Amino acid sequence: MTASSSSDSTHVVKEARAALDAFLDGLNSHDLEKWTSTLHFPQVRIHEGAVTLWQNPEEYIRSSQAELEALLSSGWHHSAWAEVEFPQVSADQVHAQVRFSRHDAEGRPLGVFDSVYVVTRQGERWGVLARIGYEAA
């Protein structure tokens, strides 16, 4: 977006941030359907040197059940944004550079992760299209 469209950029960032917050709220609800409703498909995740692609919500829910159960058995209770920046913004796509932490039920940190989220507007809805991340040192 150009400097002359800074008010448009502010509005886009606000909508993209709301989509990111909905994503995290969905994850923290431990409800795969709610979490999945914050995504766009095909969904892409680059993580631990691998690329995973889910074509549709049903495939995502089916394959993510084990990951959610593993997170819960690790002691994870919720995640929180530590930092969120928007270095690249266009009218329908935002790249969010984030740092988030995982916490147990008492709020103790379990890990910190750096990621880039690609958040897009498809139709009238903003959602997460892709995630690239790793555990921070």
Whole-number pLDDT of residue 55: 98
Whole-number pLDDT of residue 2: 46
Whole-number pLDDT of residue 7: 65
DSSP 8-state class, residue 108 = -
Whole-number pLDDT of residue 48: 87
Q: Mean pLDDT of residues grouped by 10 in the chain (137 residues)?
A: 64 98 98 98 95 97 95 97 98 98 97 98 97 91
Q: How far apart are CA 56 and CA 43, in angstroms?
A: 8
Taking a C-beta distance cutoff of 8 angstroms, is the pair 98, 116 a contact?
yes
Whole-number pLDDT of residue 137: 73
